[in-house]
Chain A
Amino acid sequence: MQDFEPKIVAFVCNWCTYAGADLTGTSRIKYSANVKIIRFPCTGRIDFMILMKAFENGADGIIVSGCHPNDCHYSTGNFHARRRWIVFRNLLNFTGIDTDRIQFSWVSAAEGFKWADVVNNCTKKIKELGPYENYNKIAVSTLFNEEGTSNE
């Protein structure tokens, strides 16, 4: 278990958290390499199914991050996202999916340090929790490659 390097996917908005993560880089603040970012225009764009797909494909943890309330580049995308996460988190919890493995955060373009903290704390937590075996087990037991996205 000591060698466990969790796979953590971060779904972030372009305007705040992506820029905040850029600032983390510009400021040369170090964080764990386990986290890899996928860019979205806004947290409002992040469909709940995207989170399901991440777990299904072997993510041990997920970070979802965007602009602080009132700071959304599109005014209200993060407010809609927040409602969606309130409901979805409820549902995940009710179906026994470990919501500790999903970290939601607001990280602004000015919060380079906060981004590093979010990533490092999340990595630490996921390392303690270990691989997401429950989900991985059902994911693996049925892997008869049908990703469906044909490559033209």
Chain B
Amino acid sequence: MSRIGVFVCHCGENISATVNCEKVAKITGELKGVEFSTDYKYMCSDPGQTLLKEAIKEHKLDGVVVAACSPRMHEPTFRKACAEAGLNPFLCEMSNIREHCSWVHPKDDLTTEKAEDLVRVMVEKVKKNKALKSIKVPVTKTALVIGGGIAGIQAALDIANCGHKVIMVEKLPSIGGHMSQLSETFPTLDCSQCILTPRMVEIAQHPNITLHTYSEVESVDGFIGNFKIKIRKKSKSLDEHLCTGCGLCTTKCPQKKIPNEFERGLGFRPAIYVPFPQAVPNKPVIDRENCTYYIKGKCKVCEIVCPTKAIRFDQEDEVIEVEAGAIVMATGFDVLKSDYFPEYGFGKYKDVIDGLQFERLASASGPTQGEIRRPSDGQVPKKIVFVACAGSRDPAKGIEYCSKICCMYTAKHAMLYKHKVHDGTPYVFYMDIRAGGKMYEEFVRRTIVEDGTHYVRGRVSTIYEKNGKLIVKGADTLMGGIPIEIEADMVVLATAGVANKGAEELAQTVHISYDSYKFFAEAHPKLKPVETNTAGIFLAGACQAPKDIPESVAAASGAAVKVAALFSNDELTRDPLVAVVNRQAAPVYSACVGCFLCQSVCPYQAIEREEIKSRSGEIIKTLARVNEGLCQGCGTCVALCRTKAIDIHGYSNQQVYTEIMALLND
């Protein structure tokens, strides 16, 4: 006979507003095998947990059901409390009467009855629970950081400085990310390159960091503490050991008119190129799509001029396999493409540019050496319009969120423009000014008051060209919506920050979840902002949502601490909710017949063959065996097994069967 304890939580009024908690406790207290039942205002609070612990001891409970919020929220809390009271934590279950009941149903008898049903199900389930021991698995103390922007750099350095190995993978030929493209940064106007490049160099020189640029993650297998990753190192057509980075090849390459990605198309680069002067590593790659040799089969000028004979035209991609205990996703973001804005003529009019292009114009190392000149004719624009929320907060564009960084960088752009073009007039069209952050609001004020930027609250409806001017049509909603028309020389769109192209595929490759905008999803929006739902994989920076530099860096350091904490132990304790193959006495040994149809369903290759041998070494039977270190507990093998020889702890056949019976036979 069981001695179950039922604890019904009011969650303040979150549950008790619609569910009669006293009644739930009373009714379920009468169930067979329930020794003790009560309700309490906040079960997760300290006194609540004490109540639980004391009840376990006083009533010698051998099972606990906490009816409260989602187990995804507090199951670990209550299991821990049970363990502290001497009850095996896996004898504790939660009934979700908040998210799945009180919050979604009105206050009526049906809602309370549903709560009773949900508790009854768990009471019956917990009777079938078994005391389980946690599983220990070794931890590979190497972190994989995917993405070499500021977030990846920060995370990698923090982890490496804790004494752990880091493997960094960057898709482009150089690390640095978007931050390396920026001119000056808000709200202090310090030069982006000046604060970033020392850290890039630190990455290259750090003894604990291995850097793979021009590389992409191809597959991720394994699990927390024990990931196996395949990295495709794209061919650079270069022997990096021989190359000294002298740059002669890049100056001699006859193919010079390739739009420069780093300059956002505002400049050109050769086919063999280093993305920007401060690149790390400062060694070129050949862009095979645009290289004359790869297109026409002859040229090889770079090979001829190279003093160290480092060019390798026949070099192939290399796939390497590495092991890591944790993964930090730091793949950053992108900005909306031009085809989203036909009404603004973006892509059609050369002088309608996006914010990142403006950064390049304003950058001392950019295509204009920091002078603000418009792309069409190189003239200095005297009247410039900045359009905030270009795509953001616009359900029509499918982007309902606020891109967060645009208000600030638009203010910065207007300020930089005024600093460089003293007689110029900047206008900013905005919806709201969101300047929450240290010194942010003050910065925006300065732009408006000191630099005389005209802020117009309203949306721009259309932009068209007339007599060499860009006609910007909008309305000033603070002036009763009067139409405004500005004859501008140049327009800068603060285009929405969006998830990287390929973010969805990458998420699927590393097995993490993502939101409807394809940004990677955190495990909990408030309490687990740098964790993903996949144990051992963490998030840093704008791959999660648009973030500015300080936020990206903070998140990266947060992720690094999570990694360091994981690496602080030699072994990792895992929930033992894994599959297990039934074993019984000879001559049957197991209900398993060794058909191994389960083997190919296992995503983790956790099902092994076990040979039962006689004393003389003759194989009597071959059985399936689950490697509990590899098994992640999906249970797909359990559902497939005809003989029910495989079962899974925590969701065993007995448990789920009992749950159905309890739910339907009230």
- Residues of A at the B interface (CB closer than 8 Å) are 5, 7, 9, 14-16, 18-19, 21-26, 28-31, 33, 36-42, 44-48, 50, 53-54, 57-59, 70-71, 73-77, 80-81, 84, 108-111, 116, 147, 149, 151-152
22 A-B residue pairings within 8 Å (CB atoms): A14-B72, A21-B99, A22-B73, A23-B99, A24-B104, A28-B103, A28-B104, A33-B104, A33-B114, A36-B117, A41-B633, A41-B635, A44-B635, A44-B639, A45-B648, A47-B653, A59-B664, A77-B634, A110-B521, A116-B104, A149-B654, A151-B32
A29 and B118 contact, Cβ closer than 8 Å, known pairs A45-B648, A47-B638: no
Contact pick for A40, options B2, B100, B656, CB 8 Å: B656
Q: Quick one: closest B residue to A23, CB to CB?
A: B99
B45 within 8 A of A: no
Contact pick for B118, options A16, A26, A36, CB 8 Å: A36
Q: When the two chains form their complex, are residues B635 and A25 in contact, meaning their CB atoms are under 8 A apart?
A: no
Please indicate the chain A residues that have their CB under 8 angstroms from the CB of B104 in the complex: 24-25, 28-31, 33, 116
Q: When the two chains form their complex, are residues A74 and B632 in contact, meaning their CB atoms are under 8 A apart?
A: yes
Q: When the two chains form their complex, are residues B106 and A44 in contact, meaning their CB atoms are under 8 A apart?
A: no
**In the bound complex, what is the Cα–Cα distance between A143 and B656 (angstroms)?**
21
B643 within 8 A of A: no
A45 and B651 contact, Cβ closer than 8 Å, known pairs A38-B121, A57-B664: yes
A2 shortest CB reach to chain B, Å: 15
A122 shortest CB reach to chain B, Å: 14
B521 shortest CB reach to chain A, Å: 7
B365 within 8 A of A: no
Please indicate the chain B residues that have their CB under 8 angstroms from the CB of A36 in the complex: 114, 117-118, 121, 663
Q: Quick one: closest A residue to B600, CB to CB?
A: A80
Q: Quick one: closest A residue to B516, CB to CB?
A: A110
A74 and B114 contact, Cβ closer than 8 Å, known pairs A25-B70, A46-B639: no
Q: Kindly specify which of B81-89, B425-433, B507-515, B554-562 makes contact with the partner chain.
A: B507-515
A42 shortest CB reach to chain B, Å: 4
Contact pick for A22, options B70, B105, B106, B663, CB 8 Å: B70
B455 shortest CB reach to chain A, Å: 34
Q: Which of B641-666 contact A (CB under 8 A)?
A: 648, 650-651, 653-654, 656-661, 663-665
Q: When the two chains form their complex, are residues B659 and A38 in contact, meaning their CB atoms are under 8 A apart?
A: yes
A149 and B658 contact, Cβ closer than 8 Å, known pairs A36-B114, A41-B633: yes
B232 shortest CB reach to chain A, Å: 19
B1 within 8 A of A: yes
Q: When the two chains form their complex, are residues A54 and B513 in contact, meaning their CB atoms are under 8 A apart?
A: no
Q: When the two chains form their complex, are residues B99 and A25 in contact, meaning their CB atoms are under 8 A apart?
A: yes
Q: When the two chains form their complex, are residues A71 and B661 in contact, meaning their CB atoms are under 8 A apart?
A: no
Contact pick for B657, options A39, A48, A149, CB 8 Å: A149
In the A-B complex, list the 3 residue pairs whose CB atoms are closest, starting with the nearest. Answer: A25-B99, A45-B635, A44-B636
Question: Can you list, as one digit per residue, whether each of B63-86 has a CB less than 8 Å from chain A (1) or not (0)?
Answer: 000000011110000000000000
Q: How large is the interface on B (under 10, 10 to 19, 20 to 34, 35 or more residues)?
A: 35 or more
A40 and B99 contact, Cβ closer than 8 Å, known pairs A30-B105, A50-B656, A70-B508: no
A57 and B603 contact, Cβ closer than 8 Å, known pairs A33-B105, A36-B118, A38-B121: no
Please indicate the chain B residues that have their CB under 8 angstroms from the CB of A25 in the complex: 70, 98-101, 103-104
Please indicate the chain A residues that have their CB under 8 angstroms from the CB of B128 in the complex: 149
**In the bound complex, what is the Cα–Cα distance between A81 and B601 (angstroms)?**
10
Q: When the two chains form their complex, are residues A33 and B513 in contact, meaning their CB atoms are under 8 A apart?
A: no
Please indicate the chain A residues that have their CB under 8 angstroms from the CB of B634 in the complex: 41-42, 44-45, 73-74, 77
Known: A25-B103, A36-B663, A53-B657. 4 other contacts (CB 8 A): A38-B663, A41-B634, A58-B664, A58-B665
Please indicate the chain B residues that have their CB under 8 angstroms from the CB of A28 in the complex: 103-104
Question: Can you list, as one digit per residue, whether each of B85-116 has a CB less than 8 Å from chain A (1) or not (0)?
Answer: 00000000000101111011110001101100
Q: Quick one: closest A residue to B654, CB to CB?
A: A149
Q: When the two chains form their complex, are residues B72 and A18 in contact, meaning their CB atoms are under 8 A apart?
A: yes
B33 within 8 A of A: yes
Q: When the two chains form their complex, are residues B70 and A15 in contact, meaning their CB atoms are under 8 A apart?
A: no
B534 within 8 A of A: yes
Q: When the two chains form their complex, are residues B664 and A7 in contact, meaning their CB atoms are under 8 A apart?
A: yes
**In the bound complex, what is the Cα–Cα distance between A39 and B659 (angstroms)?**
10
Q: When the two chains form their complex, are residues A109 and B513 in contact, meaning their CB atoms are under 8 A apart?
A: yes
B577 within 8 A of A: yes
A71 and B513 contact, Cβ closer than 8 Å, known pairs A25-B98, A109-B521, A152-B1: yes
**In the bound complex, what is the Cα–Cα distance between A37 and B511 (angstroms)?**
25
Q: When the two chains form their complex, are residues A41 and B648 in contact, meaning their CB atoms are under 8 A apart?
A: yes
A21 and B127 contact, Cβ closer than 8 Å, known pairs A53-B660, A57-B661: no
A44 and B99 contact, Cβ closer than 8 Å, known pairs A53-B657, A110-B516: no
Q: When the two chains form their complex, are residues A45 and B639 in contact, meaning their CB atoms are under 8 A apart?
A: yes
Please indicate the chain B residues that have their CB under 8 angstroms from the CB of A5 in the complex: 110
Q: When the two chains form their complex, are residues A30 and B106 in contact, meaning their CB atoms are under 8 A apart?
A: yes
Q: When the two chains form their complex, are residues B511 and A73 in contact, meaning their CB atoms are under 8 A apart?
A: yes
Q: Quick one: closest A residue to B33, CB to CB?
A: A151
Q: When the two chains form their complex, are residues A110 and B635 in contact, meaning their CB atoms are under 8 A apart?
A: no
Q: When the two chains form their complex, are residues A110 and B515 in contact, meaning their CB atoms are under 8 A apart?
A: yes
B533 within 8 A of A: yes
A62 shortest CB reach to chain B, Å: 10
Please indicate the chain B residues that have their CB under 8 angstroms from the CB of A81 in the complex: 636, 639
**In the bound complex, what is the Cα–Cα distance between A48 and B103 (angstroms)?**
31
B484 within 8 A of A: no
Q: When the two chains form their complex, are residues B70 and A40 in contact, meaning their CB atoms are under 8 A apart?
A: no
Contact pick for A73, options B103, B534, B656, CB 8 Å: B534
